[in-house]
Amino acid sequence: GGLAALLAAAFLAGGVTTPLYALFLAHTNDFLDAEDMAAASGGLVFTFGLGAISGPLAAGWAMETLGPPGFWLVLGTTFAAIALHALYRMTRRDAAPASETESYLGVLPTTSAVAVEAAGAWAAEQAEAERADDARS
């Protein structure tokens, strides 16, 4: 029972944590001009780096002080802080209009530059076709 619960909790925590960077980056980019996106990405990388340094230190201290549950306390506190910040930001700024956002383009990191360019052009054509269809209806 205990091992299964631990594995389930670890699976859930990993599933929640893994997409956070991509979600934060996508949300940030929704509010930026193209020329500002690289700087914002750098800021997010720096912020995640700080978390990569401070997270293990905080978890280690909590586990030393509280035992193994200290890890989950730090993780839960971190998730709660992110959620509270998101809720706070939602009261300060409206969501970006869908017309001002771009379609998602999933590209593997091993994809060649030519394929990325072709996929981007295809996505732009699809988005333009969707806008034209919406304008007609």
Residue boundaries of the structural domains of the chain:
2-98, 102-137
Kindly report the backbone phi and psi dihedral angles of residue 129, in degrees, each rounded to the nearest multiple of 5, phi listed first.
-65, -40
pLDDT at 104: 61
pLDDT classification of 127: cutoffs 50, 70, 90:
confident
What mean pLDDT is reported for the chain? 85
CA atoms within 13 A on the CB side of 104: 7
Q: What is the DSSP letter of 128?
A: H
3-class secondary-structure state, position 137:
coil
pLDDT classification of 135: cutoffs 50, 70, 90:
confident
Distance CA 20, CA 1 (A): 29
pLDDT classification of 6: cutoffs 50, 70, 90:
confident
CA distances from 45 to 4, 21, 89, 130 (A): 34, 9, 20, 33
